[in-house]
Amino acid sequence: MPIRLTRRGRIVVFCFLLAVAGGLLVLVSAPGRAADPPGPAPTVIVQPGDTLWEIARRHAGSRGRDATVEDIRRLNNLDGYGIDAGQRLILPRTR
């Protein structure tokens, strides 16, 4: 016996399909973040007189200096903002 849908049932099915299509459209058209390029993360050796802010300014890319400083601190497990000459720092990848 075939399934028979009432008018209300057809409206419910139509709205459900419309919501699914809208959700797929949002997922497909939403800008995504590109995956990090393969290979080792960029690093820098701290030179005498360097500061986190100066290193971040040189390597900031489009993110800005302050965000880059925080990324460097996170990547290197730094509690504060002090760095020592000769220290190797992992830098965030720029996009």
Spatial CA neighbour of 51 closest among 93, 85, 74: 85
Q: What are 59-75's pLDDT values in tens digits?
A: 887 778 888 999 999 99
Mean pLDDT score of the chain: 87
52, 44, 87, 95: which is closest to 71 by C-alpha? 52
Residue 30: predicted pLDDT = 66
**Ramachandran quadrant class, 39 (left: phi over 0; alpha: psi -120 to 50; beta: rest):** left
Strand duo 88-90 + 43-45: pairing: antiparallel
The per-residue pLDDT for 9 is 92
Q: What is the pLDDT of residues 16-53, one digit of tens each?
A: 999 999 989 888 876 766 666 677 888 999 999 999 99
Extents of the domains making up the chain: 1-31, 43-90
| CATH code of domain 43-90 | 3.10.350
- Nearest of 54, 58, 52 to residue 81 by alpha carbon: 52
